[in-house]
Amino acid sequence: MPDSIPVRTRFAPSPTGSLHIGGLRTALFNWLFARHHHGQFILRIEDTDQKRYDPNALQTLIEALRWAGVDWDEGPDIGGPFAPYVQSERLDLYQQWANWLVEHGKAYRSYETAEELEQMRKGQEQRKEQPGYNRAHRSLTPEQRAAYEAEGRAYVVRFAMPLEGQTTVRDLVQGEVTFDNAVQQDMVLLKSDGFPTYHLAHVIDDHLMEISHVMRAAEWLPSLPLHVQLWQAFGWKMPEYAHLPVMLNPNGKGKMSKRNPPKDARGNVIPVLVHDYMNAGYLPEAMDNFLTNIGWNFGDEREVFSMAEAIERFDTDRINAANSAFPPEKLDWLNGVYIRDMDDVELARRLRQPLEAAGFEVNVDTLLRVVPIVKTRIKTLNDVVSMAGFFFRETFLPAAPEQIIQKKMDAASTVQTLQAAVAVLAGIDEADFVTQTLYDAVQPLTETLGISNGQLFGALRVAVTGQTVSTPTFESMEIIGKDETLRRLKQATALVSAKL
């Protein structure tokens, strides 16, 4: 289904730090939309605020997007027909068009100093007036202007917003939105340092880069009338706008932000940056699926789907206009789903990193054998460390004797149990040291010892793994091997004996 106008969307973050989780969702939606319509997705860097510029941010940003599997057709790293894709390298363009607006009476130079503006705001506050620029320099006489110029004053270029009438836009998500022009501000388009503000830069770039659809967070909705008027002032064809619902804190109070860190139901801090999720062991597949499900719905009552499937049916008509709270439990659940569904070899590959980061030397053969018994037990990749890290520990860390002793047992009965198990296990050939054989050999001991499976297996499990919460007993023994299993059981016997 060929579209009449080629779809071109963009993600235009400002490089002020690592990518915000909400930013990733915005990127994802733009990307999904472009891919669905067989169009292009562009990455553009909006570094027009010199005060907030972070030189490492671009790299981090790219890293996060790549991690999530978002790819772009044009961007600062790969160039493209409308390069450069970094706004600080396009300054002359913005200045040129700002001048054009001034020359055509659509904008004007404003010479107030920061202090003067501060004064004005204070006055407004005292008089309990609505804050905003008073348009003092909107109609300066040529003489006044010349005087300020002669003074050598710096100036900003402000947009001359229409003073009456209304601005109505049909937003793809929000529907028809109408604003009174009279309450709008004469916003700054070009700052005194020669850099453009977002308002000016995005309109010029979206025009020049032939962007067809602007999908951005609903936080931008209040400045939409300004943008619409800017498009009209330039006489350019406006792209479609789609304002995405804002992602709110898990409790629904306020949007997710770095200041004011969100918390989950138990009071744990919820990370806001994509890198935090990367480091916490979340899978990009799960993260993408999760984020795509907030504010958009796959349909058919399906919640688990790949990005390839999402691309097939992604469109703006299923985007919800209502804001939504960030559901952290759902992310954990989804991540678990993806871990369980993953091929063992692939999962092993991904488990390696967190294991090594925890200081373990990873034996790949062992890891491959461990994967099947951990995959249903972990929610994040990092969970493997606490659940199965012991398989890779250089020297075994035995559990405390109290932990080896099971419910309704004492040191004496535990020692008796461990010794009985050692006797049985010692008689099994190394080649037969596999789960089922071990189970069949050991289980009958419950009869002779008069204890339950739970007591028997529990004692052995804690003795052999060193953990009260761990992978299952016999599976773990098989991986650990006969010699080491026996050694650990004897060590545990000694440990508990000391309690007699």
Partner RNA sequence: GGCCCUAUCGUCUAGCGGUCUAGGACGUGGCCCUUUCAAGGCCAAAACACGGGUUCGAGUCCCGUUAGGGUCACCA
Q: Which is nearer to RNA, 52 or 237 (CB)?
A: 52
Joined tokens for residue 143: 């003489």
Q: Which is nearer to RNA, 8 or 202 (CB)?
A: 202
Neighbours of 182 (CB within 10 A): 11
CA torsion angle 15 16 19 22 (round to 10): -110
**DSSP category for residue 195:** P
Least distance in Å: CB of 184 to RNA?
8
Q: How far apart are CA 43 and CA 46, in angstroms?
A: 10
Q: How far apart are CA 398 and CA 390, in angstroms?
A: 10
CA 119 to chain centre: 41
Least distance in Å: CB of 106 to RNA?
17
Rg (CA), the chain: 32
Joined tokens for residue 287: 């993260």
To which residue do tokens 């993408």 refer? 288
Least distance in Å: CB of 119 to RNA?
12
Least distance in Å: CB of 191 to RNA?
3
Q: Which is nearer to RNA, 6 or 440 (CB)?
A: 440
Q: Give Cβ neighbours of residue 114 (< 8 Å, ≥ 6 apart).
A: none
Crossing angle of helices 453-465 and 411-426, rounded to 10°: 80
Q: Which is nearer to RNA, 236 or 439 (CB)?
A: 439
Is residue 120 a contact partner of residue 137, using CB atoms and an 8 Å limit?
no
Instruction: Give the three-class secondary structure for 136.
Output: coil
Q: Which is nearer to RNA, 1 or 114 (CB)?
A: 114
Determine which one of 122, 253, 258, 330 is catalytic. 258
Least distance in Å: CB of 367 to RNA?
18
Active site residue 258: yes
Catalytic residues: 258
